[in-house]
Amino acid sequence: NAGVTQTPKFRVLKTGQSMTLLCAQDMNHEYMYWYRQDPGMGLRLIHYSVGEGTTAKGEVPDGYNVSRLKKQNFLLGLESAAPSQTSVYFCASRTSGSRAGELFFGEGSRLTVL
Amino acid sequence: QKEVEQDPGPLSVPEGAIVSLNCTYSNSAFQYFMWYRQYSRKGPELLMYTYSSGNKEDGRFTAQVDKSSKYISLFIRDSQPSDSATYLCAMSAYNQGGKLIFGQGTELSVKP
C-alpha cells in the first residue's frame, strides 16, 4: 500500500518555466490538498479538492493551478515559475469519514526556481 | 498576525527530559486540534488529535487544549532521541473541508 505518492521528488526550474507536480493516492480518499512548506512559515494551503472534478483555493493560491480529473490524482501546476515559488510541496489526502484533521501526507517535492 | 502562532524553537533537551510545546491561536471557531510530527525530509504524520477542550494522553504524549485561553500544548515525557523531529500544531474549524491551519513548527532535538 503506497499511500500518497508525489512525483517528481526534486526539480530545478528557471524563472518563467512551467511544470506540473503529480499527487497520487491509492486509499480511495475524497479530499486532497496541496501545501507548501517554507522555513519559519509552517505549512500553507495552496489549493484543495473535496471530490473528483472539484477544486478550491486555499491561503496562497496565486501563481498555481490545480486539476482533479480522477479521484486518485491531484495535479499542481506552475505556469510561469518565480523564485518565490522555491519551496517544498506536500500533497495530502483524507477520507470523508475520517476525523476532520487526519491527513495523510506524501513525502514532499522539493522545487528550486533559479 | 498569523491565525496560529507556535514557539519557534529550536529546542534541545537531554534524553529523559519532559518537553513542552505550545501554540496560541486567534480564531475562536477552531474546534479540532492536532499535533503532527515531521522527521527530516519526510512528510508530517498525525501524532495527536483532540476535539474541543480537554486533555488526551497516548503513551508518553499528552495533548492539552484550553479554548478559553486559545492555547494548546503537547507534553512529551521521558523524551527519547527518536523524538527528535519538527512538531507542528494544526487546527481546523467545523465544516471547513478538512482545511488545516498550521503553526510554524518547533524543531526538537533530544540528545543522548
| pLDDT tens per residue, range B61-80 | 999 999 999 999 999 999 99
Query: Mean per-residue pLDDT for B13-28?
Result: 96
- Worst-scoring range by mean pLDDT, B14-23, B53-62, B89-98? B89-98
Cell triple for B84: 527528535
The pLDDT of residue A88 is: 97
Measure the CA–CA gap between B107 and B40, rounded to whole angstroms: 10
A102-to-A4, A45, B35, B45, B112 alpha-carbon distances in Å = 14, 15, 10, 9, 32
Percent of chain B with pLDDT over 70: 98
Interchain CB contacts (distance < 8 Å): A and B: 71
Cβ distance of A105 and B90 shorter than 8 Å: no
Q: Per residue in A33-56, pLDDT tens?
A: 999 999 888 899 999 999 999 999
> What would the pLDDT profile of A60-101 be if each residue is shown by its tens digit?
999 999 999 999 999 999 999 999 999 999 999 998 777 777
Between B21 and A101, the higher pLDDT residue = B21
Q: Do A42 and B105 touch (CB under 8 A)?
A: yes
Identify the closest residue of chain A to B104 by CA–CA distance: A42
Q: Are B35 and B47 in contact (CB under 8 A)?
A: yes
Q: How many CB atoms lie within 10 A of CB A98?
A: 16
Indicate whether B97 pLDDT > 80.
no
What is the rounded average pLDDT for all residues in chain B?
Answer: 92
Contact A90 B43 (CB under 8 A): yes
**Which pLDDT score is estimated for B47?**
96
Q: What is the pLDDT of residue B52?
A: 82
CA distances from B94 to B30, B32, B39, B48, B73 (A): 7, 8, 29, 18, 21
Mean pLDDT to the nearest integer, B36-55: 92
Chain A residues with beta carbon closer than 8 angstroms to that of B45: 105
Scanning A83-112 for CB atoms below 8 A from B yields 90, 92, 94, 99-103, 105-108
On chain B, the residues whose CB falls within 8 A of the CB of A108 are 41-43
B45 touches chain A (CB under 8 A): yes
Residue A1, pLDDT > 70, answer no
pLDDT band at B33 (very low <50, low <70, confident <90, very high): very high
